[in-house]
């Protein structure tokens, strides 16, 4: 099956009980058993539910994965994947990432003994230098949120798979955890799991598992759900051992989506391909319009030849997605006034729905990152992020044009 066919058919055969063409919402917490220990494979809905199972099969197929687990949110999916690790393990993380992921890592998981190092993963030497003897995972978000930097997934995989000695100079050769007589640590002890948060690109434009990554994570709240009406997450992999651990934690920790949410997500995902094509077409036009406008200082969009990693984007992605970030000329307050003046771009967190959104990352999505740290990463108070929807692009550009007429020197809030 090709991508669009999978979106509509994978996991979604006619209902075996009734013949219903569309997978029913199995709104049940439990299942009547024929006799003690005799049932149809379903015993309790935190553990397994037919609607959720259909979604998991659909999403796994879209990522080219063998296995999938659906969660109540993207953060629940991220937490479940981090459960692969134990206290004392170290994770190398991309330094430009969703603020909520940073908050989970820095304020929750460090209390359980996990250690995180944030690096600019566009710099492969910095990645190698960050590896320690106890490094067990690379957490890759690409394109990054909100600066739309790209990380070379294949290069991350190569570093993760290379023998420790070849990875970089920072590994202390006298570390007690490395047997001194063993120059090549056995793969089991040595492996670094490569996880890619593929939320921004969606599986339609980027297939991290095909590039060698081990696990893909999604906030299905975004492009996969696609209509800003449901929160969800997913973890997809073809590695049975990883899947078993994630599945165990899905049940043990319990962050599962309701059957209705699973159904909404599955319905949204059926049209992922056509929506993504429209998002990317509109985003390209919006990015080009902004780049040519004299009041715009800088535009961040992987589909622009001016993007420093445009070539990597062309290699790694089959389209450039629907997210565009930019800064305006003039004082930072102008960005806030600009956001307040939009008509079709709703001022809202989140992304990936059919409707266009504008957000001020410093005060909204990335407000949980301390100001100094945020600015060090380039997420300044003047940055704006657009989730370009699939409305008529002329209306979207018209909306941006009217807001750009705001004088540079303006201070204080313009009326919305």
Ligand X SMILES: Cc1ncc(COP(=O)(O)O)c(C=O)c1O
Q: Which residues belong to the active site?
A: 46, 98, 197, 222
Among 26, 67, 98, 105, binds ligand X (CB under 6 A): 98
Contact between 73 and ligand X by CB under 6 A: the answer reads yes
Rounded Cα gap, residues 196 and 277, in angstroms: 22
Contact between 233 and ligand X by CB under 6 A: the answer reads yes
Q: Which is nearer to ligand X, 319 or 330 (CB)?
A: 319
Structural Rg of the chain based on CA atoms: 22
Q: Which is nearer to ligand X, 76 or 192 (CB)?
A: 76
H or E element that contains 88: none
Contact between 219 and ligand X by CB under 6 A: the answer reads yes
Contact between 322 and ligand X by CB under 6 A: the answer reads no
Smallest separation, CB 185 to ligand X (Å): 31
Enumerate the β-bridge partners of residue 358. 347, 386
Contact between 75 and ligand X by CB under 6 A: the answer reads yes
Count of CA atoms in the C-beta half-sphere (13 A) of 67:
14
Task: Report the residue number whose CB is nearest to ligand X.
Answer: 74
Question: DSSP string of 119-156?
Answer: E-TT-HHHHHHH--TTEEEEEEESS-TTT-----HHHH
> Which residue intervals of 134-270 are DSSP H helices?
153-161, 164-167, 187-190, 202-205, 240-253, 259-269
Count of chain residues binding ligand X (CB under 6 A): 16
What's phi and psi for 137, nearest 5 deg? -150, 145
Given a contact cutoff of 8 angstroms between Cβ atoms, the answer to whether 153 and 193 are in contact is: no
H or E element that contains 127: helix 124-130
Rounded Cα gap, residues 129 and 272, in angstroms: 38
Contact between 221 and ligand X by CB under 6 A: the answer reads yes
Contact between 255 and ligand X by CB under 6 A: the answer reads no
Task: Please report, as residue ranges, which positions from 334 to 363 form the binding site for ligand X (by CB under 6 A).
Answer: 350
Q: Which is nearer to ligand X, 98 or 289 (CB)?
A: 98
Contact between 197 and ligand X by CB under 6 A: the answer reads yes
Q: Which is nearer to ligand X, 58 or 73 (CB)?
A: 73
> Which residue intervals of 318-362 are DSSP H helices?
333-340
Q: Which is nearer to ligand X, 234 or 312 (CB)?
A: 234
What's phi and psi for 25, nearest 5 deg? -85, 100
Q: Which is nearer to ligand X, 102 or 289 (CB)?
A: 102
Q: Which stretch binds ligand X (CB under 6 A): 98-106, 206-214, 243-251, 258-266?
A: 98-106
Angle, helices 74-82/240-253, rounded to nearest 10 degrees: 120
Contact between 141 and ligand X by CB under 6 A: the answer reads yes
H or E element that contains 210: none
Q: Which stretch binds ligand X (CB under 6 A): 83-91, 94-102, 162-170, 310-318?
A: 94-102
Q: In what order do the strands lie in the sheet with 233-237?
A: 67-71, 233-237, 215-219, 193-197, 135-141, 90-94, 115-119
Q: Which stretch binds ligand X (CB under 6 A): 62-70, 164-172, 195-203, 387-395?
A: 195-203
Task: Please report, as residue ranges, which positions from 376 to 415 form the binding site for ligand X (by CB under 6 A).
Answer: none
Task: Give the binding site for ligand X (CB under 6 A).
Answer: 73-75, 98, 100-101, 141, 145, 197, 199-200, 219, 221, 231, 233, 350
């Amino acid at each position: 099956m090709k991508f669009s066919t999978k979106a509509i058919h994978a996991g979604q055969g006619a209902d075996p009980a009734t013949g219903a063409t569309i997978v029913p919402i199995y709104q049940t917490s439990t299942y009547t058993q024929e006799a003690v220990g005799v049932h149809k494979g379903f015993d309790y809905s935190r553990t397994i539910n037919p609607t959720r199972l259909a979604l998991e099969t659909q999403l796994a197929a879209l990522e080219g994965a063998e296995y999938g687990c659906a969660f109540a949110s993207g953060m629940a999916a991220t937490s479940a994947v981090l459960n692969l690790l134990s206290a004392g393990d170290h994770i190398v993380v991309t330094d430009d990432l969703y603020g909520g992921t940073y908050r989970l890592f820095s304020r929750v998981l460090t209390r359980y003994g996990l250690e995180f190092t944030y690096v600019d993963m566009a710099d492969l030497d910095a990645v190698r230098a960050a590896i320690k003897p106890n490094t067990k995972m690379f957490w890759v978000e690409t394109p990054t949120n909100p600066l739309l930097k790209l990380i070379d997934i294949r290069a991350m995989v190569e570093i993760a798979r290379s023998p420790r000695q070849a990875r970089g100079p920072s590994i202390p050769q006298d570390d007690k955890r490395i047997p001194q007589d063993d120059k090549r640590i056995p793969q089991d002890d040595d492996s670094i799991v490569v996880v890619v948060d593929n939320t921004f690109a969606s599986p339609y434009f980027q297939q991290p598992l095909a590039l060698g990554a081990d696990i893909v994570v999604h906030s299905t709240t975004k492009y996969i759900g696609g209509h800003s009406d449901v929160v969800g997450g997913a973890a997809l992999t073809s590695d049975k051992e990883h899947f078993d651990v994630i599945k165990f934690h899905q049940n043990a920790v319990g962050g599962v989506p309701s059957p209705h949410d699973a159904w909404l997500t599955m319905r949204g995902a059926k049209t992922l391909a056509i929506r993504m094509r429209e998002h990317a077409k509109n985003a390209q036009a919006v990015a080009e319009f902004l780049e040519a406008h004299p009041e715009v200082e800088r535009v961040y969009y992987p589909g622009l030849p001016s993007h420093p990693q445009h070539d990597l984007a062309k290699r790694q992605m089959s389209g450039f997605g629907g997210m565009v970030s930019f800064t305006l000329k003039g004082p930072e307050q102008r960005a806030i006034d600009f956001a307040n003046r939009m008509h079709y771009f709703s001022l809202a967190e989140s992304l990936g729905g059919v409707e266009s959104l504008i957000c001020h990352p410093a005060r909204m999505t990335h407000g949980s990152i301390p100001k100094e740290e945020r600015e060090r990463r380039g997420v300044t108070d003047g940055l704006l992020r657009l989730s370009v929807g699939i409305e008529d692009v002329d209306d979207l550009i018209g909306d941006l044009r009217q807001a750009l007429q705001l004088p540079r020197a303006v201070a204080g809030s313009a009326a919305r």
